[in-house]
């Protein structure tokens, strides 16, 4: 029983990180029909940038964090939209998707060659430790990851549903033509979703890297998990991505313990296949219709 509780908490913690990545994924899809196959690398890179700033520029850690955050928002929030999505979107969804695959390879290989091929320690914001609850040993780090991610997601959800800008973002996603007629600057709204996506990736990166170490290949696992989470939950709903993230995180952890750790990565894929077969719009998604 206590092992089960521990597994659930660990699952929720990883799930929260998947959810952060999956939510960014669905946001950019909704406003700009961009399927970002580099989403995993987006989560991998910010931590590497921090370590690189410390190593090469000898920056103190807080400065390095600020530099990494600023640089990443500029390059992979603004720059990604301006210099990859905008020029490629003219050619259609598929060329754009392939361009993001190329970007993911570029980011991964650059991190490997430019920084290190080895997994690196990443400083944790939360001290090591554990608390006892219901006879289970719960890691403080897992709890902190879960809390921070949930606060960020709730905050984002409140922003999207409760503010004027948030509603303008939704309008841009649901009906760009009319949104433009109403005088909403849809370009700015789309840019905002890309910045939010980059921000969520940074947060996910800083939360997960202390646990799994910062490594150039981290994006593979996270990217796949986020992609599965988004599809399982429903691609066109933020709450779908949220639920999908937690489901994949839980399934992942429970499968590792109770099924086989060798097949842990396969179990979410089975879930993915089942969802696509029986509820292709996702568990919480709505059917999507597009007019041309």
Partner 1 sequence: MNAHVNLPASGPVLKVDGLKKHFGGIKAVDGVSFEVFEGEILGIIGPNGCGKSTLFNCILGQLQPTEGAVTLDGEAITGLFPAELNRRGVSRTFQLLQVFPNLTVRENLILAGQEHQGSMLSRLLGPKDAGLTAEAEKMIGFFNLGHLADSKAGGLSYGQQKLLDAAMAFMAGPRLVLLDEPAGGVNLTMLASLKERLEAINKEQGATFVVIEHNMDFVMSLCSRVVVMAEGKVLAIGTPAEIRANPAVIEAYLGH
261 binds partner 1 (CB under 8 A): no
| Both tokens assigned to 132 | 């006892």
**In sequence order, what DSSP letters do the residues of 69-92 get, joined into one string?**
HHHHIIIIIIIIIIIIIHHHHTT-
Q: Which is nearer to partner 1, 1 or 181 (CB)?
A: 181
**Per CB under 8 A, 184 contacts partner 1:** yes
The answer to whether residue 286 forms part of the interface with partner 1 (CB under 8 A) is yes
Does 178 sit near partner 1 (CB under 8 A)?
yes
Closer Cβ to partner 1, 165 or 261, answer by number: 165
Q: Find the radius of gyration of the CA atoms of the chain.
A: 19
Site string for partner 1, 144-163 (x = CB under 8 A): ------------------xx
Kindly state the smallest distance separating residue 178's Cβ from partner 1, in Å: 5
**Minimum CB distance to partner 1 smaller for 182 or for 269:** 182
Least gap, CB of 242 to partner 1 (angstroms): 16
Do the Cβ atoms of 123 and 113 come closer than 8 Å?
A: no
Give the list of residues 6+ apart from residue 102 with CB closer than 8 angstroms, or none.
Answer: none
Among 127, 134, 183, 292, binds partner 1 (CB under 8 A): 183
Nearest to 18 by CA among 241, 270, 202: 241
Interacting stretch for partner 1, rule CB under 8 A, among 75-83, 99-107, 165-173, 206-214? 165-173
Q: Which is nearer to partner 1, 112 or 180 (CB)?
A: 180
In terms of Cα–Cα distance, which of 115, 138, 118, 141 is closest to 128? Answer: 141
Could you tell me the two tokens for 119?
Answer: 């997994």
47/38 Cα distance (integer angstroms): 16
The piece of 39-47, 178-186, 219-227, 267-275 that touches partner 1 (CB under 8 A) is: 178-186
Residue 251: how many other CB atoms lie within 10 Å: 21
CA 252 to chain centre: 16
User: What residues pair up with 138 in beta bridges, in sequence order?
Assistant: 131
292 binds partner 1 (CB under 8 A): no
Residues at the site binding partner 1, with contacts judged by CB under 8 A: 162-168, 170-171, 174-175, 177-184, 286, 291
């Amino acid at each position: 029983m206590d092992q089960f509780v521990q597994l659930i908490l660990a699952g929720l913690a990883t799930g929260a990180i998947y959810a952060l990545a999956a939510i960014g994924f669905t946001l950019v899809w909704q406003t700009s029909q961009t399927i970002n196959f580099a989403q995993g690398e987006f989560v991998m890179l910010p931590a590497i940038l921090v370590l690189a700033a410390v190593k090469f520029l000898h920056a103190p850690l807080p400065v390095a964090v600020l530099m990494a955050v600023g640089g990443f928002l500029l390059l992979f929030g603004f720059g990604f939209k301006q210099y990859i999505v905008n020029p490629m979107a003219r050619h259609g969804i598929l060329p754009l998707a392939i361009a993001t695959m190329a970007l993911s390879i570029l980011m991964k290989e650059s991190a490997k060659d430019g920084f290190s091929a080895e997994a690196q320690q990443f400083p944790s914001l939360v001290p090591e430790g554990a608390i006892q609850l219901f006879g289970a040993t719960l890691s403080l780090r897992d709890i902190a990851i879960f809390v921070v991610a949930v606060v960020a997601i709730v905050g984002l959800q409140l922003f999207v549903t409760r503010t004027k800008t948030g509603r303008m973002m939704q309008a841009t996603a649901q009906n760009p033509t009319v949104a433009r007629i109403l005088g909403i600057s849809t370009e700015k709204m789309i840019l905002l979703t890309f910045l939010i996506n980059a921000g969520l990736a940074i947060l996910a990166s800083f939360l997960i890297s202390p646990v799994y170490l910062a490594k150039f290949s981290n994006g593979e696992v996270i990217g796949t998990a986020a992609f599965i989470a988004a599809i399982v939950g429903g691609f066109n709903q933020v709450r779908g991505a949220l639920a999908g993230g937690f489901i994949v995180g839980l399934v992942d952890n429970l499968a590792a313990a109770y099924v086989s750790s060798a097949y842990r990565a396969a179990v979410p894929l089975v879930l993915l296949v089942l969802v696509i077969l029986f509820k292709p719009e996702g568990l919480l998604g709505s059917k999507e219709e597009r007019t041309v």
